[in-house]
Amino acid sequence: MPTARLLLSCPDRTGLVASVADFVWRVGGNITHADQHTDEQAGVFFQRVEFLVSDLTVGRGQLAQRFAPVAAEFGMEWRLSFSDETRRVAILVSRQGHCLYDLLARWRAGELPCDIAAVISNWPDHSAAAEHFEVPFHELPVTPETRDAQESRLADLLGRYRVDLVVLARYMQILGRRIIDPYRYRVINIHHSFLPAFAGGRPYAQAHARGVKLIGATAHYATEDLDEGPIIAQEVARVTHRDSVDDLARTGRDLETTVLARAVRAHLTDRILVYGRKTVVFD
């Protein structure tokens, strides 16, 4: 059944949980899930509350207005969404297709509650995959000389498809402010977790040469600071001296698909609150 999702953060003080629960009760909602966290060092309270809307005594459009006085009393930053509001997702990819294929398969299996509006790439390699899943494919080639024009075309496509979330599924191009600013905390990137060590090309060869014993993957919101946006999900795997460079890369690809899918699903189900350079990701 459809639910409303209320996410909030504010200075920690007594009465917060009771006031939010009282609001839900007064509008006829039934809480199905609630989670909270307090950052003791910062003195900030975070909460995610999900409640049924089938028996509301007010219309959905009135919920925000009804909650506004509660939010004002506690100085909350908050947002309200609904589980049956389908987000539109664009997947950006370059030549490595493992994350793209994984996301398309999970979407087709019903694991990702969204509409995949388009696959966009600076190479033609994955047009057949997009066609197989009946998703529009757009190739936007780019060179250093055409970067501004290409990003302008990309921004136009995202607007035309009314995209809510941009997923960089191994898209090996740096996005400028023309994309980052209007999609603040709505662009998710995935990369290996060696950074800032082993930056640049052939990271697994560099890691192999240093004899690393752990490799990992990181999914984060993309910002104007390259690969330094708030982290959403991470995972690691142990490796040994017996693993070749190809073994490390294969394990890394497995981690990337899992971590990216986890981050995308967390975003689509409204489980992430960003504060400062960090995130709270509710289970």
Active-site residue numbers?
227
Tokens of 161: 């498809």
Identify the residue whose tokens are 């920690």.
Answer: 12
Residue type, 65: Q
Cβ burial 9-32 (10 Å sphere, 16+ → b, else e):
bbeeeeebeebbeebbeebebeee
Helical packing angle, 60-74 and 16-26, nearest 10°: 160
Contacts of 154 (CB under 8 A, 6+ apart): 92, 120, 140, 179
CA distance 178 to 14: 42
CA distance 141 to 119: 14
CA distance 182 to 108: 28
